[in-house]
């Protein structure tokens, strides 16, 4: 496996990201970057990003969560941010992403995890949870899903899947801008492009949409169905913070609220924003999270 590593110089001008770097090397030699902010003795909140972002997405939320008494862990998925990037699309599978993140959690020896999931953060995070439900205390789900392939995805997702696979140009920051309601500054655009200095670095981002189970023939369809079997018994607190302008995950909050017992009695919110609601309303989301943790 050919492994690429974005040079540190690519990140030297990143704004509003004063957080210390931490790294863990997986069993197959991949260096995974993560943030670890706040008092190590405080309750843990795990922030999982998706496609094609990185932990930079959480920069406005982390200070609020830390001030609210949380220890914040925010990893970069393999292929993203400051984590290593296998150069071939075939190096990436849904199962490998789960394994890579599980190794990071094991390394950190995290217990009673409060998990925030968005986009692919949910596809990975909910599999981590359902494999070890006793390790998790709460879930906040935002614009995410756990697809089994039994329902046809919305056309917006199929179009995105086709674009990622076939477009000659794959500009990561443009993708982010198209899926936010706020106008991203040049500095923020530069931060989202920074992890990907060449097309070869984008293999993980290019292939991610194709790894989403869209039919029941998908290799992870059955495993996601088993995971739903655990989620339908999950009675610990589960909060939905979905946005009002995301054509890909629209209605996903209703699915969770219908099927997951832990959603009952929670103060679910609809956030004004696009798919990347952390960009559009990060501080608002973090405040809702602190209220949720204080209540539960």
Domains annotated on the chain, with CATH? 3-295 (3.40.50.1820)
Q: How confident is the model over 24-30, as a mean pLDDT?
A: 98
User: Is 49 a residue of the active site?
Assistant: no
pLDDT of 172: 95
The single residue of 24, 91, 275, 280 carrying the catalytic annotation is: 275
- For the question of residue 171 being annotated catalytic, the response is no
Of 76, 84, 246, 253, which is the active-site residue?
246
Query: Which of the following is catalytic: 76, 84, 91, 119?
Result: 119
pLDDT score recorded for residue 228: 99
- The tokens for 288 are 């809702």
* 246 is an active site residue: yes
What is residue 78's predicted lDDT score, i.e. its pLDDT?
99
Residues 143-172 have pLDDT tens digits of: 999 999 999 988 989 999 999 999 999 999
Chain segment 78-134, per-residue pLDDT in tens: 999 999 999 999 999 999 999 999 999 999 999 999 999 999 999 999 999 999 999
- CB-based contact 85:91 (threshold 8 Å): no
Q: What's the confidence (pLDDT) of residue 59?
A: 99
* 212 pLDDT tier (thresholds 50, 70, 90): very high
Token pair for 243: 């946005």
| pLDDT given at position 37 | 99
**What pLDDT shows up at residue 1?**
94
**pLDDT score recorded for residue 256:** 99
- How sure is the predictor about 5, in pLDDT bands with cuts at 50, 70 and 90? very high
Mean residue pLDDT across the chain: 97
> Which residues have CB under 8 Å from 236's CB, separation 6+?
136, 137, 138, 139, 262
Q: How far apart are CA 179 and CA 175, in angstroms?
A: 6
Nearest C-alpha neighbor of 52 from the set 283, 252, 275, 281 = 275
Dist CA 293 CA 143 (whole Å): 20
When pLDDT is averaged across residues 66-75 and rounded to a whole number, the result is: 99
Residue 100 CA, distance from chain mean position? 14
């Amino acid at each position: 496996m050919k492994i690429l590593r974005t040079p540190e110089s690519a990140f030297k001008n990143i704004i509003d990201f004063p957080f210390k770097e931490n790294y863990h090397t997986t069993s197959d030699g991949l260096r995974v970057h993560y943030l670890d902010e706040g008092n190590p003795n405080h309750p843990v909140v795990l922030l999982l990003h998706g496609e094609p972002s990185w932990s930079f997405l959480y920069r406005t939320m982390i200070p609020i969560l830390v001030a609210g008494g949380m220890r914040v862990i925010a990893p970069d998925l393999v292929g993203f941010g400051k984590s290593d990037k296998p150069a071939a699309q075939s190096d990436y599978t849904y199962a490998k992403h789960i394994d890579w993140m599980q190794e990071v959690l094991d390394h950190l020896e995290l217990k009673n995890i409060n998990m925030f999931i968005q986009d692919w953060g949910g596809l990975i995070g909910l599999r981590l949870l359902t494999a070890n439900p006793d390790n998790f205390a709460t879930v906040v789900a935002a614009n995410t899903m756990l697809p089994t392939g039994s329902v046809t995805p919305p056309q917006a997702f199929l179009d995105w899947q086709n674009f990622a696979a076939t477009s000659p140009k794959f500009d990561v920051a443009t993708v982010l801008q198209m899926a936010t309601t706020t106008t991203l500054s040049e500095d923020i655009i530069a931060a989202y492009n920074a992890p990907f200095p060449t097309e070869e670095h984008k293999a993980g981002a290019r292939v991610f949409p194709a790894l989403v189970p869209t039919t029941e023939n998908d290799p992870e369809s059955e495993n996601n169905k088993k995971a739903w079997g655990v989620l339908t018994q999950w009675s610990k607190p589960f909060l939905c913070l979905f946005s009002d302008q995301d054509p890909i995950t629209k209605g996903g909050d209703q699915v969770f609220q219908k099927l997951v017992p832990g959603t009952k009695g929670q103060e679910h919110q609809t956030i004004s924003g696009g798919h990347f609601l952390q960009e559009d309303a990060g501080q608002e989301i973090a405040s809702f999270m602190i209220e949720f943790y204080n209540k539960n």
